[in-house]
Amino acid sequence: MSRLIVAALILLLFTLSSHAQTAKLRSAVGTNLDAVTYWSTQIPFVDVMKSSGPWISGDKTQWDNKQRLDLDADGWVRSLAPGQVARMLTLREIGDHYPAGRYLVRYKGQGTIKFEYAARVVSQKPGEILLQVTPQNGGVSMVIEATNPADYLRDIEITMPGGICEGDPFIHVRSAQQCGGQFLSFADNAKQIVFYPVFLDRLRNYSVLRYINWMQANNSPVASWSQRTSLSARTWAVASGVPPEVLFELANRVKTHPWLTIPHKADDAYVRNLARMAKTMLSPDLRVYVEHSNEVWNAQFAQNAYAIQQAAAQVPPIDPIQYHALRSRALGRIFKEELGSSRVVAVLGAQAGNIGTGSIGLEYLKIRFKGAVGIDALAIAPYFAVTPRPAESGTYTAMNLDALFAFVRTKALPGVATTLKNYRSLAKANNLPLIAYEGGQHLVGIQGAENNAELTAMFLAFNRDHRIKQLYLDYLAAWKQAGGELFVHYFDVGRFDKWGAWGALEYVDQARSSAPKFDALQTFIEQSPVWWPQ
């Protein structure tokens, strides 16, 4: 049995012995998580192989020769064709925002491994390589130049330097001398520690973690339980998402309620197995928020086309929004059967700019189930947005930052208030809380305007300016005043670029004092205790 699962079971037994009741939310604010990728500034795992990119087949003259690689079920290279090499990247394009020092590589099998860019081999022996990593934008590149098909290279770990002091998973220490008690090195305890302490520490005040990106909910290929990512997979940066065991273990570590975005094609057996895993692994004082995929009404995602197809297949056929509501209710029911109603929040996601995506579904459920809608919360994404197309970009590039802040405060924020008022009325009419599945600023060029460098520079400067802290505090106060409850920001840590500046932090090690959005969220948490009955 996996050590991670054993640790979760120990936590479960301890909590049960304490007669814990379902915990209340520690704060009014949660966060979405950025996707696990080889370039993410989130750096969630101490074994950086788990956030590495896909294998790239190449040779001595070509970085990527597009040749097929022979991989096993966990993604390890079983054999190489003559002249072929397999490359992978991790910690890429993050600058120096990851730990420097001695990284330990451990592996099974026989072959030849080479490291490039930020990593230099200090020493090696069978099954072990010591690297000196000097952070740079190129990150760490690993190249398999040869492997023995009868005993191929596999189970490769690349663990950060240092570790933690036993009992404190939130502080990264460099050596045992920094611990009053037992020192647990990342190299020897990666499967138990799992999470980079700095990453964990930045999540401690949030009450809910929404896993849309960690579950890769948008366009998910997952339909059956067998398609989930396994703990033993080479990397967890894959289309099937992070292993569900890891989702629940993260929630346990930071004592936050997990919000699951169930893949749109997932069958009932998948959903029930996921619910049973939650019952087994998740601390019983935590609830589970359950949502049907993400933005099912959004035509840019595969889940929208799937909902249209499934709605047409019903007897009699129904509207896709009605199907979305029906499936949302069904997912919640399965989880409630396994965990009990008090531990499950069945969420109906709706589009903030189209109240019909909420009202049509709720009305359908009320009629079909004689008033028992089976939904526990109505969720929207009340962003304050400026999304110019190319023809409109000049309006904003002609502004200075003072003018842009004035525009957002006088034009963008008032529109959010109208949305909140209408949705609060709908939620109240159905005896539901109004919550935010995503929210925050939404300044980004669209339909080609994202390629306007001057516009992007303006929007990124807006997100870094100290004045956005007060704008966020006023925005969150308006959410509270309008009757909104849980607010889940989009998202925790991520780079700012032409595609948006969604992270509260740009880098996981960024100081609060230099991250005004993060500072605003933490300040609101500190100054605004949960205001609704729990």
Domain with 303 in it: what CATH number? 3.20.20.80
Residue 302 in any domain: the answer is yes
Residue 35, pLDDT > 80, answer yes
**pLDDT above 70 for 13:** no
Specify the number of domains making up the chain: 2
Q: Is residue 142 situated within a structural domain?
A: yes
Query: What per-residue confidence (pLDDT) applies to 367?
Result: 96
Report the 3 state secondary structure along 18-85. Answer: CCCCCCCCCCCEEEECCCCCCCCCCCCECEHHHHCCCCEEECCCCCCCCCCCEECCCCCEEECCCCCE
Tell me, yes or no, whether 377 and 512 share the same domain: yes
The Cα–Cα gap between 247 and 441 comes to 26
What's the rounded mean pLDDT across residues 307-333? 98
Give exposure, 133-145, as e/b (b: 16+ Cβ within 10 Å): bebbeebbbbebe
**Is 188 contained in some domain?**
no
175, part of any domain? no
Pair (205, 237) in one structural domain: yes
* 207 and 95 in a common domain: no
- Residue partners of 122: CB distance under 8 A and separation at least 6: 102, 130, 131, 132
DSSP H/E element including 468: helix 467-481
Question: How far, in Å, are 202, 207, 453, 467 from residue 90 at the CA level?
Answer: 21, 30, 27, 34
Residues 195, 83: Cα–Cα separation, whole Å: 37
Is 36 in the same domain as 54?
A: no
Same domain for 40 and 66: no
Q: Is residue 169 part of a domain?
A: no
Query: Domain containing 484: what range?
Result: 3-45+194-527
Report whether pLDDT(17) > 70.
no
One domain for residues 156 and 221: no
Quick one: pLDDT band at residue 23, thresholds 50, 70, 90?
A: confident
- pLDDT surpasses 60 at 341: yes
Question: Is 180 domain-assigned?
Answer: no
Q: Would residue 170 count as lying in a domain?
A: no
Q: Is beta strand 288-292 parallel, antiparallel or unpaired with respect to 344-349?
A: parallel
Q: What is the pLDDT of residue 22?
A: 61
* Same domain, residue pair 13 and 104: no
Same domain for 414 and 389: yes
Burial environment of residue 427 by CB neighbours within 10 A (0 to 12, 13 to 18, 19 or more): buried
Considering the domain architecture, whether residues 146 and 221 belong to the same structural domain is answered as no
The domain boundary residue, chosen from 139, 161, 183: 161
**Helix axes 320-339 and 268-281, enclosed angle (nearest 10):** 40
- What is the token pair recorded at 230? 């396994």
pLDDT, one tens digit per residue, over 457-483 is: 999 999 999 999 999 999 999 999 999
- Same domain assignment for residues 38 and 143: no
Residue 173: inside a domain: no
Q: Which of 140, 161, 182 is the last residue of a domain?
A: 161
Do 495 and 411 share a structural domain?
yes
Mean pLDDT estimate for the chain: 95
Whether pLDDT at 436 is above 60: yes
Per residue in 393-419, pLDDT tens?
999 999 999 999 999 999 999 989 999
Q: Are strands 85-90 and 77-79 parallel, antiparallel or unpaired?
A: unpaired
* Residue where a domain terminates, one of 161, 184, 207: 161
Instruction: Please report, rounded to a whole number, the percentage of residues in the chain having pLDDT higher than 90.
Output: 94
At residue 24 the predicted structure's pLDDT band, cuts being 50, 70 and 90, is: confident
pLDDT of 3 over the 70 cut = no
Task: Answer yes or no: do 326 and 358 share one domain.
Answer: yes
Which pTM value belongs to this model?
0.94
Amino acid letter, 518: F
- Model pLDDT for residues 188-215, shown as the tens digit of each residue: 999 999 999 999 999 999 999 999 999 9
